[in-house]
Amino acid sequence: MSLLDHIPRPAPSRPGEPLAGVDLSKLSKIRPKDLAVRFGFGAAISLVAGLISLAFGATAGGMFLAFPAILPASLTLIEKKEGTEAAIHDLDGTVLGAAALGPFALVAGVGLRNASAALALPAALATWLGASLIAYVLVRKVFEHISA
């Protein structure tokens, strides 16, 4: 048994379903209770980050604000409604997006010191989007190569 046998496979897409997309009709299916859970998790994590900031300084508190506040609630709701496999698949996308925050932070940090926010933040956003898409394509190609 090799290490490659333990690499998770991407969730199979359904026939006719795009790899990525937006379905605005699903917004009408969100229950107020689910929104409240997400809001509650976000508020709790922000409160903890604020308390850490008061106790240990802004740098320490800021590290905790980087935590995706609604991720635990979202994954819990997805797991309950769609199963563990769907939650894991959603987490995979979260990891790729979070990894792209490194280049975002680099561009934002340098840009905000040397240019206006009106220039630096769109550049950082474009960097995040590009890094996320590149990571997605690379991971997809690696899985296709391993599956072949």
Number of residues that this document lists for the chain = 148
Contact 96, 10 (CB under 8 A): no
Q: Is residue 90 part of a domain?
A: no
pLDDT at 121: 93
Q: Is residue 92 part of a domain?
A: no
Q: How many CA atoms lie within 13 A of 110 on its CB side?
A: 8
From first to last of the 148 residues of the chain, give the pLDDT tens digit: 443 444 555 555 555 555 666 777 877 887 888 888 878 877 888 888 889 989 998 888 877 776 666 677 778 888 888 888 888 888 888 888 888 888 998 999 999 999 999 999 999 999 999 999 998 888 888 878 887 6
Q: Is residue 16 part of a domain?
A: no
In this structure, are 79 and 34 located in the same domain? yes
Q: Is residue 88 part of a domain?
A: no
In this structure, are 39 and 71 located in the same domain? yes
* Enclosing domain of residue 56: 30-83
pLDDT at 119: 94
pLDDT at 103: 92
The number of distinct structural domains making up the chain is: 2
Q: Is residue 6 part of a domain?
A: no
pLDDT at 82: 85
Identify the CA nearest to 13 among candidates 100, 138, 133, 140: 140
In this structure, are 35 and 73 located in the same domain? yes
pTM to 2 decimal places: 0.56
CA distances from 123 to 61, 105, 118, 137 (A): 25, 11, 9, 21
pLDDT at 145: 81
